[in-house]
């Protein structure tokens, strides 16, 4: 049992978090929604992920702020994709996912491409993420 726990810790320590390296033409933007309410925009600007709440979301009181994004007026920037969005990208070693990546000739090192292809729905939350 101790060895299993030790391996889990070791794997977490060895997890490489890499800044995004994206080559693209034009803008890459996503809109996060719940039902008909636009919650926020996610985009890439100058090799940074950028998250900001929509005015529509700021002016409502039905839904709570997202975990990790507590300030409604802040424009969040990060070199790595936040876990809230990263969980939308499935494990790339899954045979079915590999087949899709190969058939559609997707760049599996580009998180924006993977998020666009696989990130619309998530089992972990009810939000919808769509390209803008």
Structural domain boundaries in the chain: 20-131
SS3 128: strand
CA angle in degrees (0–180, nearest 5) for 127-80-94: 65
Q: For residue 63, which of 29, 88, 86, 36 has the smallest C-alpha distance?
A: 36
Joined together, the tokens standing for residue 83 give 């876990």
Residue-wise pLDDT tens digits, 52-68: 999 999 999 999 999 99
Spatial distance between the Cα atoms of 111 and 92, rounded to a whole number of angstroms: 11
Residue-wise pLDDT tens digits, 72-113: 999 999 999 999 999 999 999 999 999 999 999 999 999 999
Residue-wise pLDDT tens digits, 7-50: 433 334 334 444 445 554 556 899 999 999 999 999 999 889 99
Spatial distance between the Cα atoms of 130 and 93, rounded to a whole number of angstroms: 24
Name every residue whose Cβ is closer than 8 Å to that of residue 50 and which is 6 or more positions away in sequence: 41, 42, 43, 44, 75, 76, 77
Spatial distance between the Cα atoms of 47 and 37, rounded to a whole number of angstroms: 28
Secondary element (H or E) of residue 29: strand 28-34
């Amino acid at each position: 049992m101790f060895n299993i726990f030790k391996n889990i810790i070791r794997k977490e320590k060895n997890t490489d978090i890499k800044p995004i390296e994206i080559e693209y033409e034009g803008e890459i933007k996503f809109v996060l929604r719940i039902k008909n309410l636009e919650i926020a925009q996610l985009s890439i600007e100058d090799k940074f992920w950028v998250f900001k709440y929509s005015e529509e979301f700021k002016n409502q009181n039905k839904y709570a702020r997202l975990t990790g994004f507590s300030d409604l007026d802040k424009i969040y920037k990060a070199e790595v994709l936040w876990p809230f969005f990263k969980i939308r990208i499935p494990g790339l070693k899954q045979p079915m996912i590999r087949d899709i990546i190969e058939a559609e000739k997707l760049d599996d090192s580009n998180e924006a491409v993977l998020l666009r292809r696989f990130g619309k729905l998530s089992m972990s939350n009810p939000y919808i993420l769509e390209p803008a």
